[in-house]
Structure 1
Amino acid sequence: MQASVGDRVLVHGGDVGRSDRRGEVIEVRGPDGDPPYLVRFSDGQESLVCPGPDAVVEHLPPDEPGAARPAL
């Protein structure tokens, strides 16, 4: 799994009663886009994440002038 700063991470809840978590990659600490990633989640919490099989990285195209990025 590879990511860049600005990509979005979705971690599926997996267990009953746990909701999915969405966040934005704010720092890539591994070489060549590899984990771990520093992620700021939609609740404002920042965590060092090594995504497992329950996670998906959404690669977003670079911002275009005047284009809005989707909210977390």
Structure 2
Amino acid sequence: MRADSGDRMVTHGRTVGDPDRVARVVEVLGRDGAPPYRVRDERGHETVVSPGPDTTVRHGPPAG
């Protein structure tokens, strides 16, 4: 996985009805875009993550 600051990380819900969680990459802590990442979610909370297989990266600005 590779991400840059400003990319969006989408962690897909694990059960039916569990919504996807979206967070913005604030800082890349690994080398050459590799994890871990400091992210900020929709509520403004920041955390450091090393995403698993249920997470995808959407590069670039948000659509719309």
- Identify whether the pair has TM-score above 0.5, normalized to the shorter chain: yes
Q: Find the aligned partners of 1:48 and 1:38 in 2 and give their Cα distance.
A: 4
Instruction: Please list every run of at least 4 consecutive aligned residues from structure 1 whose deviation after the TM superposition is greater than 6 angstroms.
Output: none
Q: Which residue of 2 aligns with 1:49?
A: 49
Q: Which residue of 2 aligns with 1:64?
A: none
Cα shift at 1:28: 0.2
In structure 2, stretches of 5+ residues that fail to align are none
Deviation by residue 1:21-70 (Cα, 9 ceiling, x = unmatched): 1010000000000000000001111111111110000011xxxxxxxx53
The two structures, once aligned, show a CA RMSD in angstroms of 1.5
Q: Which residue of 1 aligns with 2:4?
A: 4
**TM-score calculated relative to the size of structure 2:** 0.87
Cα shift at 1:16: 4.2
Q: Which residue of 1 aligns with 2:62?
A: 70
**TM-score calculated relative to the size of structure 1:** 0.78
Partner of 2:25, secondary structure, is strand
Larger of the two Rg values belongs to structure: 1
Tell me which of the two structures has the higher relative contact order, counting C-alpha pairs closer than 8 angstroms and 6 or more residues apart. Answer: 2
Equivalent pairs, count: 63
